[in-house]
Amino acid sequence: MQALNSLTLRTSPLDPLRAPNNAANRRAAASKRVFFVSATAAPKVSAPQRQKDPKKRVVITGMGLASVFGNDVEGYYEKLLSGESGITAIDRFDASKFPTRFGGQIRGFSAEGYIDGKNDRRLDDCLRYCIVAGKKALESADLAADNLTKLDKERAGVLVGSGMGGLTVFSDGVQALIEKGHRKITPFFIPYAITNMGSALLGIDLGFMGPNYSISTACATSNYCFYAAANHIRRGEADLMIAGGTEAAIIPIGLGGFVACRALSQRNDDPKTASRPWDQGRDGFVMGEGAGVLVMESLEHAMKRGAPIIAEYLGGAVNCDAYHMTDPRSDGLGVSSCIQSSLEDAGVSPEELMLQRPIAYSTFLDVFNVVWPSFYQLPFEPPILGVVKINMHKDSRSSGYVEVNNEMLLSSTTMHQCWGTVFAGGCDRHRPVADCGVGHVLQSHTINLQSQSVIIASFQVNYINAHATSTLAGDLAEINAIKKVFKDTSGIKINATKSMIGHCLGAAGGLEAIATVKAITTGWLHPTINQFNPEPAVDFDTVANVKQQHEVNVAISNSFGFGGHNSVVAFSAFRP
């Protein structure tokens, strides 16, 4: 926070306009009209630095999935917005003897057009979901057919992980060994069971020769993959990465294993209401399956090829609780540290970040000599609508006007009303300040001189897609961690995708990242369904049961896994 506490102002861009005797006038004026700017920030978060280099800025240009709601991103999010539950009784095998007999099972999945018939019959569903989701993501990134051949494939990679790998192939192989002996084990047993094969097959199919591997960190897998893929791009090792997670564990051994852990809900009489994050009646999570994949590119590469830029990956972080194999830390320390680190990596502040210093003004010129440096004194780069120009009238240093892209936004006659759109975000077009009052400007850098205050709003988180699995310990531990980081949570909305699709394990973060990006692009947050009797400690707006319209500034998506693996990634709308 050193940059914030320093009392040294950088040289103002208006210094050349100063008259030598103006300093005395300003000192005299200071005794008449003085106002203060306060500052708040989480104590452990250092001054964030947003990435500016187009080679290192990472954007999302494509999304693909396989889900209980189908293989189409738009259809998937429409189902989420409607609050529909994808949880039903399991009919893939006889689950009648299990204490849990339901899940987010995918039915009628088709890989036609994406995997040839022979391989489609051989592959584990975990691999099928991965390949289809990956290729669909490329299609949405405008990288189908001829465009794909134009890529430098030595600089394109794949990083799709899985928590369990090819569990069906593994289970079938063990059964063949026990019942018929080793000669009946398929030669595809090892290749199709290992967790890296999804990335490998996708890379082989596409000819991508860049970084290619998988990460397996249980339910945090997808976010770990996003984080690692983005870092390959930032380090200049790749221009484009396909990243995410895939999982297909709703089989007898998978279900039985989680039953043995006593982790699953047993609400067999009403499966659709079984996944109920933050509700006092929750009794465990619900298994889900699928794949969620993003195409991540350097901004430079995406712009060069004219890619459809959907959103921006701002940053992320990973760490470990170092506490227990399956239980989270009740104090949320590992998770809160991970969130803080992700915000630092993203160049985002958890609180409203403002310059702490008394300032005085008496003339139009004095205002800008104080206020203008305040903006570029900050340790992050505010999003700017365009070229900002400060104009002084020839005959008076007490009047003037401000232009953005050659349009006058602020003059000395309106400066005591409001300043709303010079430093950007909320207004979708340039308008005179008088027509774009403070109440109409969302997430703007706003100055209201009439109330004698200066507010420099930061790039803030106002939406969290939570891990929220519907377990007794995990849900509240995450909430405790969030409260450690965000001192004022009144402006933050939080929801749980798992309330509708279940817990998709290694694919959870991928499917939730897609939901997060869709929230950013549509301005609508899907509900957290099954909120009947909320926990008193969860004093957030959880978007309970009904979707909400919400302009997302910065969103974070949390994923945590067995072993204490924590991961957080941050996204925002793309701003050039």
Catalytic positions:
219, 467, 503
* DSSP 3-state of 66: strand
Query: Which position has the token pair 């040294």?
Result: 8
Type of residue numbered 299: L
Distance CA 276, CA 283 (A): 8
CA distances from 241 to 101, 128, 207, 255 (A): 38, 19, 13, 32
Say if residue 536 is exposed, middle or buried (CB neighbours under 10 Å; 0-12, 13-18, 19+). Answer: exposed
* DSSP 3-state of 58: strand
Q: Virtual CA dihedral for 541, 544, 549, 553, nearest 10 degrees?
A: 40
| CA 449 to the chain's CA centroid | 35
What angle, 0 to 180 degrees and rounded to 10, lies between the N-to-C axes of helices 508-522 and 221-234? 70
DSSP string, 67-135: BTTBS-HHHHHHHHHHT----EE--SS--TTSS--EEB---S---TTTS-HHHHHHS-HHHHHHHHHHH
Residue 299 and residue 59 in contact, taking contact as beta carbons nearer than 8 Å: yes
Q: 534: which DSSP letter?
A: B
β-strands 88-89, 357-360 pairing: unpaired
Q: How many other C-beta atoms lie within 10 A of the C-beta of residue 488? A: 11
Q: 22: which DSSP letter?
A: H
What is the token pair recorded at 114? 């994406």
